Structure 1
Amino acid sequence: MPHDVLTMGRISVDIYPNDIGVDLEDVTSFGKYLGGSPSNVAVAAARHGRDTAVITRTGDDPFGSYLHRELKKFGVSDKFVSAVPVWPTPVTFCAIKPPEDFPLYFYRTPTAPDLQVQAADITDTETGEAVTAARIFWFTVTGLCQQPSRAAHLAALTARPRRNLAEGQFTALDLDYRPMFWSSETEAAEAIAQVLPEITVAIGNEQECAVAVGPGTPDQQADRLLAAGVKVAVVKLGPQGVLAKTAEERVISAPVPVQTLNGLGAGDSFGGAFCHGLLAGWPLAKVLDFANAAGAIVASRLSCADAMPVSSEVIALLTERGRWAEGDE
């Protein structure tokens, strides 16, 4: 059976402080968690009952073993996760200074194991068949920042059916632009432009969309994504909610206010919940509301992967806010 959601790309060990509201140099103790945006999205979708897997690589070290264990714990298949003998499993530190200050420090230079996935790994019969068959194939812009990872992602897109929206099959791109992984915004924009014609769903905030298709209003950015070949363009508006557009529809979902503890995992929770709603065949407005609420729940919690909600928690929050009617499941 094909996977509901197959993600590809970054994986790491997130090192989060137990001390809240202080600078990183003043933190006295930490906890470790599964991290990396595509891996978190796979976890988030699995929490909603979806069959998920991730294509990535770790170091051949204890942290790599830990990530395998965590993926399995969350119900995400690690079948396509292999070790790289040279590069250590990356770690990511952050400080947690709510409500808006969550600086990230990536320890993955000059490269990382997840950027060592090669095109030959994708054209391998079993992996290639999984990419072709997956109902949703999800990756992020970071996977395009270096070779051999960029070639591997292009091979995966070649293996995908071309935007079979009517058949319930989607190729999703998270416009998760991280400037420290690129030489310039221009380099990132050129890489993104190469893949946009193959994308069904593109998701990003206004700054990420500006890198992909240029500055402008959210509507202008969504229209440019559609003109590039995307079928569903999603622009996150921060405190104003989320805008989504297709050729026939324009939807805005209002935010779901919560008391923010750590905003870092909200986007990945949004992504996994968005995948769940797409696969459920919900109207776009309902998908956005569900994803918004899922993101809000994680923003109110400390970690990322460990904080991902199950569907009943999301529905309870929406019901409490008067945004979910009985029988909507």
Structure 2
Amino acid sequence: MTHDLITMGRISVDIYPNDIGVGLAEVSSFGKYLGGSPANVAVAAARHGRRPAVITRTGDDSFGEFLHHELRRYGVDDQWVAPVSALQTPVTFCAIRPPEDFPLYFYGRSPSAPDWEIEADELDTAAIAEAKIFWSTVTGLSRPTAREAQVAAHQARPQASLAAGQHTILDLDYRPMFWDSVEQAREQVQRILPQVTVAVGNSEECAVAVGEGTPDEQADRLLAAGVQLAVVKRGSEGVMAATADERVISAPLPVETVNGLGAGDAFGGALVHGLLAGWPLEQVLDYANAAGALVASEIACSEAMPTPPAVAEMLTARGRAVPEEVTA
């Protein structure tokens, strides 16, 4: 089976508080969810009817079993999710203090995490080459073993173009706690950008990749580095996307934010769906924007990933066009 999407990288158990607006010391109860950005993107794509898989590693423990169960429940192929016996499945705690304060606390990632132990020679490069979209992250470049595997996966991909409908996407998810410096991260990102057709990140993440500047300047630098579609998320100012031939801005869709952590992953899964559907770029961005906004209004990330009818309802309510495929 050819997958619509294969993601590669971080997976964890997310422990999110049921108490909103307080620090972790004051939280009395929590919910447990599948987490990790690449895994969440795969879940989001599955909600849109796509056939995703994830390449990652867990510990050989009960939390690893939980993640397998959740991936299958969401419709994500887990055949390339394997245990690493010497390490524990990572757990991520967050505090939820809307509208903008969502600190993350990573446990089980020091000195290493299972997803940083993916070996290049373990990869099913034929499946990676055949997948319509391959999605990896900057976090996966932060450790040597995972970096070699990610580079090998990118090298297995065909030299695709946007018009061909096959994409290699890099999520510019820079997290400073996983790097020695911004300069170290920038060096690794710039090495892999020539193998990427689509780059996605907010202004701060784009600054790590290609330097400070306006969204237009950052998009121009990403395109000059070999990327064919640069997507720069601008927070309250919406999203801008640029190719060699067009530049599109999608205005924001404001919601009452409960937990902003999953919005980017919901955006990513919807972006995948829109690109594969071949919609005009403006519709792709609006659809992805709406998906992200819906998740930001919920506590959970993976469990809150929206379906096409929910996205269509929001777009209609905000006066945005709904792609014909969603209304069919």
Q: Measured at CA, do residues 325 and 307 of structure 1 come closer, stay the same or move farther in structure 2, by a change above 3 Å?
A: closer
Tell whether the 8 Å contact from 2:283 to 2:322 is kept in structure 1 after alignment: no
One-letter identity of the residue aligned with 2:112: T
The counterpart of 2:233, out of the listed 231, 236, 244, is 236
Matched, 1:287 2:284: yes
Q: Quote the residue 1:120 is aligned against.
A: 121
Give the deviation of 1:328 after TM superposition.
5.9
Q: Quote the residue 2:306 is aligned against.
A: 309
Q: Name structure 1 gaps, 5 residues minimum.
A: none
Q: Secondary structure at the match of 2:144?
A: coil
Q: Distance in 1 between matches of 2:92 and 2:300?
A: 12
Q: Distance in 1 between matches of 2:31 and 2:17?
A: 6
Tell whether the 8 Å contact from 1:63 to 1:89 is kept in structure 2 after alignment: yes
Aligned-residue sequence identity (percent) comes to: 65
- Map 1:148-187 onto structure 2 (within 5 A): 148-187=145-184
Give the deviation of 1:99 after TM superposition.
0.8
Matched, 1:136 2:137: no
Tell whether the 8 Å contact from 2:283 to 2:323 is kept in structure 1 after alignment: no
Q: Distance in 2 between matches of 1:35 and 1:320?
A: 30
Give the deviation of 1:110 after TM superposition.
1.2
Q: Quote the residue 1:12 is aligned against.
A: 12
Taking only aligned residues, the RMSD between alpha carbons, in angstroms, comes to: 0.9
Q: Distance in 1 between matches of 2:322 and 2:221?
A: 34
Q: Distance in 2 between matches of 1:326 and 1:228?
A: 31
Q: Quote the residue 1:145 is aligned against.
A: 142
Give the deviation of 1:215 after TM superposition.
0.3
Q: Distance in 2 between matches of 1:115 and 1:172?
A: 19
Alignment deviations for residues 20-67 of structure 1 (CA, whole Å, 9 cap, x no partner): 110011111111100000000000000000000000000000000000
Tell whether the 8 Å contact from 2:93 to 2:105 is kept in structure 1 after alignment: yes
- TM-score w.r.t. length of structure 1: 0.97
- Map 1:188-267 onto structure 2 (within 5 A): 188-267=185-264
Q: Measured at CA, do residues 312 and 112 of structure 1 come closer, stay the same or move farther in structure 2, by a change above 3 Å?
A: same
Give the deviation of 1:166 after TM superposition.
2.4
Alignment deviations for residues 115-160 of structure 1 (CA, whole Å, 9 cap, x no partner): 10011112xxxx1111000000001100000021000001101100
Alignment deviations for residues 91-118 of structure 1 (CA, whole Å, 9 cap, x no partner): 0000001111100011111110011001
One-letter identity of the residue aligned with 1:37: S
Q: Distance in 2 between matches of 1:325 and 1:91?
A: 37
Q: Distance in 2 between matches of 1:88 and 1:326?
A: 43
One-letter identity of the residue aligned with 1:266: A
Q: Secondary structure at the match of 2:189?
A: helix
Q: Measured at CA, do residues 164 and 2 of structure 1 come closer, stay the same or move farther in structure 2, by a change above 3 Å?
A: farther
Give the deviation of 1:325 after TM superposition.
4.8
Tell whether the 8 Å contact from 2:258 to 2:297 is kept in structure 1 after alignment: yes
One-letter identity of the residue aligned with 2:293: A
Tell whether the 8 Å contact from 1:163 to 1:198 is kept in structure 2 after alignment: no
Q: Secondary structure at the match of 1:239?
A: helix
- TM-score w.r.t. length of structure 2: 0.98
- Map 1:70-109 onto structure 2 (within 5 A): 70-107=70-107, 108-109=109-110
Q: Quote the residue 1:273 is aligned against.
A: 270
Deviates further, 20-29 or 318-327: 318-327
Q: Quote the residue 1:65 is aligned against.
A: 65
Q: Secondary structure at the match of 2:249?
A: strand
Q: Distance in 2 between matches of 1:198 and 1:81?
A: 24
Give the deviation of 1:250 after TM superposition.
0.4
Q: Secondary structure at the match of 2:101?
A: coil
The alignment of Structure 1 onto Structure 2 pairs a total of residues equal to 325
Alignment deviations for residues 280-308 of structure 1 (CA, whole Å, 9 cap, x no partner): 00010000000000000000001000000
Q: Distance in 2 between matches of 1:235 and 1:167?
A: 22
Q: Quote the residue 1:300 is aligned against.
A: 297
Q: Measured at CA, do residues 328 and 63 of structure 1 come closer, stay the same or move farther in structure 2, by a change above 3 Å?
A: closer
Q: Secondary structure at the match of 1:77?
A: coil
Tell whether the 8 Å contact from 2:53 to 2:77 is kept in structure 1 after alignment: yes
Q: Distance in 1 between matches of 2:106 and 2:305?
A: 22
